[in-house]
Amino acid sequence: MRLTCWYTQQCVDQLNDLRVRLFTRGVEIDPQEVALINAKFLRLNPELALVLDIDGLSLSANGMKMQPDWNAEIGRLKRATLKTEMLARATQANDQPRLIDATAGLGHDSLLMAKFGAKVTLIERHPILFTLLEASYERAQIDPFLASVVANITLVFADAEDYLEQQYAKQQKIDVVYLDPMFPQRDQNQQRPKKQAQVKKQMQILHLLLPEDGEMDLGDALLLQAQKIAKRVIVKRPRHAVFLNNDTPQHQWLGDACRFDGYFCMNSTE
**pLDDT tops 50 at residue 193:** no
**pLDDT class of 201 with cuts at 50, 70, 90:** low
Query: What are the structural domain ranges in the chain?
Result: 2-66, 71-264
**pLDDT class of 2 with cuts at 50, 70, 90:** very high
Average pLDDT over residues 147-161: 97
CATH number among 3.40.800.10, 3.50.50.60, 3.20.20.10, 3.40.50.150, domain 71-264: 3.40.50.150
User: What pLDDT does residue 63 have?
Assistant: 93
Percent of the chain exceeding pLDDT 90 equals 78
**pLDDT tops 70 at residue 195:** no
| Residue pLDDT, tens place only, 20-42 | 999 999 999 999 999 999 999 99
d(Cα 130, Cα 133) in Å, to the nearest integer?
A: 5
Please, where are the H alpha helices in the chain?
Answer: 12-24, 39-44, 74-79, 86-91, 108-115, 127-140, 146-150, 160-169, 201-209, 220-229
Return the higher-pLDDT residue of 159 and 208.
159
Return the higher-pLDDT residue of 191 and 204.
204
106 CB-side CA count, 13 A: 19
Look at strands 56-61 and 64-66 and give their pairing: antiparallel
| Residue pLDDT, tens place only, 71-82 | 999 999 999 999
| Residue pLDDT, tens place only, 64-123 | 999 998 999 999 999 999 999 999 999 999 999 999 999 988 999 999 999 999 999 999
Binding residues for S-adenosyl-L-methionine: 124-125, 180
**pLDDT class of 186 with cuts at 50, 70, 90:** very low
Q: Starting from the edge strand earliest in sequence, which strands make up the sheet with 230-238, in order?
A: 153-157, 119-124, 98-101, 174-179, 230-238, 258-264, 251-254
User: What pLDDT does residue 218 have?
Assistant: 60
